[in-house]
Chain A
């Protein structure tokens, strides 16, 4: 009989300090040596990790009430506009919002990093004033210790695979895939591949709404499927998508995070983003879970796109494996092209290892999703139409 385990059985082992936990890299060799059946019996949890730029990141902040109180209408944190179209002192700061004084050099992502680092941040807000909120302006300083609830809510993180970017034009291009050299002078890629959470659970069997995760160095949760969730993307025989597919909406307490695992980023000529560290523990429920998590770079493919074509659908220049990408060179149309990652594989390893320690120490339990993601969701484009045409 093939071995199966329940979430409760795995958590009981974690509670007793007896759970066998390995990373998504380590499971590859274990399966090669012992086979899937033995590995399933032996291992209880497989930890994953990724650390890449994730633009759809931001934080909800509650400032508390001043005296007399103010219903903040416009808010700036260190001169970065912060959305305040919520209740009086609730706001949301998005990672890609740029400073009104420093431009691309400072952004919402930098404010979030500064708050996590415990730094003081200047708060400026204006209001129209009401009978219950008479104040019309406030300038003060805040840090994470004086704030009420402050949590990251990231609408789209941890993309399941991503594109490989090249530039066939004659000019240098500044993109969210970093600097692309002219005439295909380089190719950039962005995935933790064999360590990446959704690549190790390609059909979202154990990752769903409510899954407990590692987010920026603190425990967090999967809140929803991420925006642009696209499970219908083309997949290889092993089930792994060959282009961007699933995504996660994540939530976690900013005050517990650590700047080692979450950092502001500026892409020259493009704008701001945020390196977000995400790790997901995969409970070993059965052989299928292990087989999927044992996937390795040579069997994970990404699609090469020409970013010099400034259209929604860019020309597809073929597929390449992460083993080839990580070798430092790939061949495109007979030309040797230097490759470079834009997400940190060393940090991804550290995240998977840290999460492994948390589970081994009995501090972190696996959570069964309260609801699975919709498998028929599609990623729709935005058409430019009149009201009559829609």
Chain B
């Protein structure tokens, strides 16, 4: 049995497909959804996928055929407070609101529980304070 953490990004045309059902029914996998954010334009799912390694590989191929973007081996997004200047640029690209500015002292707050690993903040940060930790 293998276990892999993956992030799925759904384009508009795929958001109404019962992806998780197929992962269970067709590939016999155990998907554990960690985070989800879906609206009318796009969707993101963060999940652990557990099952035989070859079945996970087949399931990822299936997802790609459904026009779902699959990112693997995501660990965590980390803000390095020694580098951050609290400008707030990252807040503008954070759809789930995981990154915000504290209205009292105007410093950056990162709520990891809300993060969906879209990674837009990493390139947006002008001082490269946000990193992906594997």
Contacts and interface: CB of A to CB of B under 8 A. Distances in A.
Interface of A: 51-53, 178-181, 185-188, 263-269, 273, 275, 326, 328, 338-347, 349
Contacts of B86: 344-347
Interface stretch (B14-22, B27-35, B101-109): B101-109
A267 B126 contact: yes
Given A326-B103, A338-B92, A340-B92, A347 B123 contact: no
Contacts of A267: 126
B92 A344 contact: no
A269 B118 CA distance: 18
B92 A266 contact: no
Interface of B: 85-93, 95, 100-101, 103, 105-107, 120, 123-124, 126-128
B126 A346 contact: no
Contacts of B88: 340-345
A268 B128 CA distance: 10
B89 A178 contact: yes
B93 A275 contact: no
Contacts of B106: 344-346, 349
Nearest to B121: A179
B87 A266 contact: no
A105 to B, nearest CB: 8
A273 B126 contact: yes
B120 A179 contact: yes
B92 A181 contact: yes
B121 to A, nearest CB: 9
B12 to A, nearest CB: 11
A326 B88 CA distance: 11
A361 to B, nearest CB: 24
Given A268-B123, A345-B106, A186 B92 contact: yes
Contacts of B92: 178-181, 186-188, 338-340, 342
A275 B124 contact: no
Contacts of A180: 92
A263 B128 CA distance: 11
A344 B127 CA distance: 12
B85 A344 contact: yes
A364 to B, nearest CB: 24
Contact of A341 (B87, B124, B128): B87
A268 B88 CA distance: 15
23 contacts: A53-B87, A53-B126, A178-B89, A178-B124, A178-B126, A179-B89, A179-B120, A186-B93, A263-B85, A265-B126, A266-B127, A266-B128, A269-B123, A273-B126, A275-B87, A328-B100, A338-B91, A340-B90, A342-B126, A344-B85, A344-B87, A345-B101, A346-B107
A266 B127 CA distance: 7
Contacts of A186: 92-93
Given A338-B92, A346-B106, A264 B127 contact: yes
A266 B126 contact: yes
A345 B107 CA distance: 8
Contact of A51 (B85, B90, B123): B85
Contacts of A345: 86, 88, 101, 106
A265 B83 CA distance: 11
Nearest to A272: B126
Contacts of A341: 87-89, 91, 101
Nearest to B126: A265
Contacts of B87: 51-53, 275, 341-344
A268 B124 contact: yes
Contacts of B107: 346
A179 B121 CA distance: 9
A217 to B, nearest CB: 13
Nearest to B123: A268
A277 B127 CA distance: 15
Contacts of A187: 92
A179 B90 CA distance: 9
What are the nearest 8 A-B pairs in CB distance? Answer: A340-B92, A265-B126, A341-B88, A346-B106, A340-B91, A345-B106, A268-B123, A186-B92
Contacts of A263: 85, 127
Contacts of A185: 95
Contacts of A268: 123-124
